[in-house]
A and B are shown apart, each in its own frame.
Chain A
C-alpha cells in the first residue's frame, strides 16, 4: 500500500447522510474480477439522471471539482454492504480522504486498507468548514499531525495509533499478521475444548 501522509485538494461536496455502498457503486458493477477500473462507475446513479444525462449539480459533473481528492459527506457514510468495491471506486476516481461525521464499520476498515482516509469530524465542524469554503479553496489533511486545515480554520481528528502507522508507513496488514505465524500455529494445535471458554 502507498503511504499516506498529507493531501492538499479542493473539497468535493456530497452533503447527505447515509450514503450507502449501493450509491457509491451500484451492485450491477460488481461483476468484475479485478479491483481496477471501478472509478468510472463511482456514484453512477447519483451523478446521472434517469435518461443517462449528467446531473449538473452533482460534484463529479463540475469542472471545479475535477481532480478533487477530498470528499465531504454527512453521517453514516459507507453504510450497507461489505463490498470493498466502494473504496476501490472512490480511490479509482481519485478520492483520498472522506470527511464525515460518522462511518459504517466495514467501510471504514476497507477504506484504510486502500489508502483512503476516513476522517471523523463533528457535524458542527463539518458545517463550519463547508460554509467557509469557496469552491476553489484548498484544504489540507495532515495525517501525522491529525489535523484538517482550511482557509480560516482547522480541526483535529482522532485515529487509532495502529491505523495511523499503517497508513503513514504503507504497512501491508497481511504481512503484519503473517509475523504471528508461530502464535497462530500454537493456537491451532489447541483442541476445540481449550479454545472455547
Chain B
C-alpha cells in the first residue's frame, strides 16, 4: 500500500460512501454538543420527526452562556438557552454534563479529561475550537448548526477531503516560553488564513517533548490559522494520559496497539510543509485584531508604512487604530486593565500551575482586574486540592466557576469599552471580550506577569 499521512489514514477509515462529483459521506465517532449552537438543530429533528441516531456517541455540556459566579442564571436569554439544552438532551436521550454536574466544563476540556477523545476518531462539535481534540491523533473539527443536525440524525457529514499541511517544530523551548507562544509564532508566520483548506499535522522534536495539555493548546488554535483541524500522532504520552480515564475502551491495551499505527508513513507526502525552529523563540503577544498579528514580547509594534501590499496596510492601520497603538513603540510596558486566564486554549491544570507559580508571594497590581476561570469542575477541584485557588486569591485575583467566560464574553464576564485585556484565550477580534474591548493574546505565564506588574512584561525576567 502506498504511504499515507495520518490525515489520510483517519479519513480513509471513515468514508462510508460517496458519489462521483460529490463530497464523501464521512462517519463521525464522537459528537460534542453545547447550548449555543444546538437548539436549532434539535428543532430541525423535531420538525422532521427524527431521532438522534447514536445518543451513546453524543454528549452535551453547558459552557458558553453560563455565569462563572454561583447562583441562578440571571440573564433570561442565557437561562432559556440552558433550559433548552436540558430539555433537548432529556427528550433525545443524550448524556448531559449539566449545570450541577461534578464533571461539567468547557466542552474541549472535559472531552479529553473524561477519556471520550481517542486517537483515530472523527470528532465534531458546533464550535470551531474542536480542533483541540486533534492533540490525541483524532480528526476533530468545528461544524455549523445545520451540520450538527446532520450528525445528530445520521452520525455522518458530507465532507470534501481537506489537504494536509505538516507543521514541524524543531528544538526545545527556553524557560518562560510555552506551547501558547509556539502557536502564536506559527500564526504570525503563516498568517490568519495561511492554513485555509488544510489540516495541520504538528510534528518534530518539540511536539514529542510536549505533554498532552500543551499539545491541546497548539491544536486548539489551528483554526486561527484557517485550518479546520490540527493533529498530533499519538505516542506514549498520549496513551499514558488516557490510561484509566472513564471513557477509554475496555480493551485498552489492544486499543493502544491499534492506535500505535496512527502515524504518517515514511515517504508519505504532505500537500504543504513548514519547519520552525523554536529554540530562540521569545514569549509572544498579539498587538492587533486577529491572532496572526503577534510579535515577540520584546518586539516593536509594526508600521503599516513598511508593508508593500495596500490591503494589508489598511488591515494593519485599522487594527492599530482599534487597539490605539503606535507603530514603532515597544509592546512591553503597555498598561493593562484586565487579565483573563482561562478558555479552551489555556484553562487546564498545567496552565493554572504555571500562573500560580508566578503569583505565589506576589500581588496583582492595583487597578488590574484578574479573572481566573478553570476549564472544568475537575480542573477546579484539582487546583483547589493543590491550594492554587488560595495562591490566586491571596494575590488578589478572582477565582471563578468553570466556563468559557471572557473568551467569548456572552455570560456577563466582559471588559469595558477601551479596556486592555491580556488574555490566554484564542481570539483578539474587535469586541470579542466585550464591546470596544482590546485584547492582547498571550500565555498563562505572560498573563500572570501582566497582572502582577500592571503592564505587558517579558516573563523571562520573572521566572
Contact = CB atoms under 8 A, between A and B. Distances in A.
A54 interface: no
Contacts of B40: 33-35, 84
Nearest to A26: B431
A30 interface: yes
A188 B17 CA distance: 12
Interface in A157-185: 160-162, 173-174, 176-178, 180-181, 183-184
Contacts of A80: 128, 427, 429
Contacts of A106: 128, 142-144, 228
A80 B228 CA distance: 10
A196 B154 contact: no
A174 B153 contact: yes
A113 B120 CA distance: 28
Given A79-B192, A84-B37, A173-B150, A22 B226 contact: no
Contacts of A188: 27, 155
B146 A81 contact: no
- Size bracket of the B interface: 35 or more
A82 B127 contact: yes
A197 B4 contact: yes
Given A20-B290, A184-B25, A196-B258, A105 B13 contact: no
B261 A84 contact: no
Contacts, number: 193
Most buried by B among A33, A45, A82, A104: A82
A197 B429 contact: no
Contacts of A20: 290, 427, 429
Contact of A180 (B16, B146, B162, B432): B16
B172 to A, nearest CB: 31
Nearest to A28: B410
B463 interface: no
A145 interface: no
Interface string A28-65: 10111111000000000100001000000000000000
B39 interface: yes
Nearest to A31: B77
A87 B146 CA distance: 11
Given A161-B21, A180-B17, 16 more contacts: A16-B315, A17-B315, A28-B409, A31-B77, A33-B43, A33-B84, A81-B142, A83-B36, A102-B196, A162-B21, A174-B44, A174-B154, A184-B25, A195-B14, A195-B27, A197-B9
16 contacts: A18-B290, A20-B427, A30-B36, A33-B43, A87-B144, A106-B228, A109-B143, A109-B147, A160-B21, A161-B22, A173-B158, A184-B17, A184-B156, A187-B27, A196-B262, A197-B13
